[in-house]
Amino acid sequence: MIEVKSIHKNYENIKAVENLSMSVNPGEIYGIIGPNGAGKSTTLRMILNIISCDQGEILFDGKTISEDDKNRIGYLPEERGLYKKSDVKSLLRLLGELKGCERSFLDKRINYWLERFDLLNWKDRKAEELSKGMAQKIQFISSIIHEPEIIILDEPFSGLDPVSSDELRDIVAELKNDNRVIIFCTHIMEQAEKICDKILLLNKGKVVVQGPLDQVKREHGSNSVYLEFDGDGDFLKSLPQVVKLIQYPRAFEIELIDEPGASDELLKRAVEKLSISRFEIKRPSLHKIFIDMVGKGEIL
């Protein structure tokens, strides 16, 4: 278990992280989300003891982090890189040995994970020959090759195509089911919504909202509709039932006025001019909560 208690971090006159508390238990995925520059990576570096916090404390199973604890951790940083002239197998061996693992153990794990990611034929190739997506998979393997109890992932889906993203998400879910402690850091709300049990939304170093994902969505819920369609749906923006609208390609997420029949009237008007493929009354997405809580101008 990881407990973070009222940590602060300042850089000169900038409050990078202010009074942040959280706890992460085995068997759950905890998402730290927020716009770029919100303090996510700084928080991870303090948890890992790469940098120290100015105030507060961070506990691993009730104790401050020790050198031995570091071998229990697998970390995939946002800023990544591989030794370009090293072959994949030697590189993974080296990184595993730095975590205290025997070569015989590592070679079995290397073959297993390379096969899982369909990269076994690349184990004797140099890192500089890998595509960006392949390199990302190798770096993920390097963070879990020593079978850590605690896994910390900073933007793990960066550079992956949709198929590879789904593959990685399934593996992270397997690791969760194996009772690992997993912290997942991202600014991509769709990924966080698919994978996280709990979330902490940061903005400008401050906690905006946190808690179990379902609870957060209930507490910030509204009379919302998700609408997928073919046609020009711009007219929906001016309907009296519509309070706010988030536009996606060929879909809208719409917040309605809190009155009986608002969703029925919206559907009636939509059907008149559009070909509807999906109409769902739902809790707001993390994307919508993010926009409402942080502000549209802060997202990218």
Same-domain pairing of 36 and 137: yes
What's the Cα-to-Cα distance from 280 to each of 84, 111, 189, 227, 260, rounded to whole Å? Answer: 49, 44, 19, 7, 16
Computed from CA positions of residues 219, 217, 263, 269, in that sequence, does the dihedral angle turn out positive or negative? positive
Residue 98 to residue 123: CA distance in whole angstroms: 19
* 135 within domain boundaries: yes
Same-domain pairing of 194 and 256: no
Same-domain pairing of 65 and 173: yes
In terms of residues, how long is the chain?
300
CATH value at residue 172: 3.40.50.300
Same-domain pairing of 121 and 258: no
| pTM for this predicted structure | 0.80
Q: Which regions of the chain are under pLDDT 50? A: 297-300
3-state secondary structure (DSSP) of residue 102: coil
Same-domain pairing of 227 and 214: no
What pLDDT shows up at residue 203? 92
What pLDDT shows up at residue 300? 31
What pLDDT shows up at residue 285? 81
* 296 within domain boundaries: no
Which ranges of the chain would DSSP assign to H, the alpha helix?
40-47, 67-70, 88-97, 103-116, 132-144, 162-177, 189-195, 213-219, 262-273, 286-294
CATH value at residue 268: 3.30.70
Same-domain pairing of 68 and 85: yes
Domain range spanning residue 181?
A: 2-218
What pLDDT shows up at residue 222? 67
Same-domain pairing of 194 and 242: no
Which residues on neighbouring strands pair with residue 31, listed in sequence order? Answer: 184, 199
φ/ψ (deg, to 5) at 2: -110, 130
Same-domain pairing of 213 and 228: no
Count of domains observed in the chain: 2
